[in-house]
Chains A and B, each alone.
Chain A
């Protein structure tokens, strides 16, 4: 749709007035309409208290949005404002909470409906423990072996070195080394 510059200027001027009016006149009814409401993104609804409820957000962070964004429901609905899935999932979740379900029960209900994929992290059970523990176990294991090998390998040469090498250098040799070192420094 074409937008002419005059219209745009008019809108710019209009935009300032309600802002002032809102502040001075305590306008409590409705805000002024936008000039091009269709171009201001998907229409939004008023924010409800549920949307900021830490309990609900806590559950939403454990569940994945089904739109394919790979984000959790909370992040998706507060980030991707073109997504229609996450607001719907939010409402669904609020309904469950209103039925006085606990957080785990809500999550269980979602898993029952959308499958285990709807969890942001795999549940800690069965095979999934491999997912959680393998890296840590591998690092600890290799680390212990490494530590053991280092201790064992390192000790021997030191003992040999003590017997064979630890003698004080003669003053003559010391002096030669000193000259060489000074040359290196220049």
Chain B
């Protein structure tokens, strides 16, 4: 009898947990883990600029450890250097343009935060709607208030 009661409690609890969102209809802020600060490691950055810079760093290190010959180094460096410069240009332009509000969730976040974008390295940023910091190219953080 006690066991059956326990079973009913378990069942009700499980169903309540699962069905509650359907009844309550949470907004977008109900989504996702409220992780305090979503710091993206540099390597996982989707910014082309950061990726090109990381490649440059690696090329430099490979030459320093004697894995790359000087000719290969010069060639690779000029290629990735150009990539990085091009990416820097693009991102500088992008940060000037306010991102379109195609995603309602993004739009909401933008509206709430206005110009309170923050970069992990350079602190609060003046530009609005940017994905990456125009100073260093890191992805801008999304702090949860």
Contacts from A to B (Cβ < 8 Å): 161-162, 165-169, 173-174, 176-177, 180-181, 183-186
Contacts and interface: CB of A to CB of B under 8 A. Distances in A.
B78 A181 contact: no
Given A161-B75, A169-B78, A176 B85 contact: yes
A186 B122 CA distance: 11
Question: Looking at B54, B74, B78, B121, which has the most chain A CB atoms within 10 Å of its CB?
Answer: B78
Contacts, number: 49
A interface, by DSSP: helix, strand, loop or mixed? Answer: helix
Contact of A180 (B53, B75, B78, B82): B53
B56 A186 contact: no
Given A161-B75, A173-B81, A180 B121 contact: no
Contacts of A169: 77-78, 81-82, 85
Most chain B CB atoms below 10 A, which of A161, A166, A167: A166
Classify the interface of chain B: helix, strand, loop or mixed. Answer: helix
A166 B75 contact: yes
B34 to A, nearest CB: 29
B136 interface: yes
A145 to B, nearest CB: 27
Interface of B: 42, 49-50, 53-54, 56-57, 74-75, 77-79, 81-82, 84-85, 88, 121, 135-137
A60 B139 CA distance: 67
A161 B79 contact: yes
Nearest to B81: A169
A177 B78 CA distance: 11
Given A161-B75, A165-B79, A168-B78, A180 B84 contact: yes
Pick the 9 closest A-B CB pairs, nearest first.
Answer: A183-B136, A165-B79, A169-B81, A166-B75, A184-B53, A177-B81, A180-B53, A173-B85, A166-B78
Contacts of B57: 181, 184-185
A162 B75 contact: yes
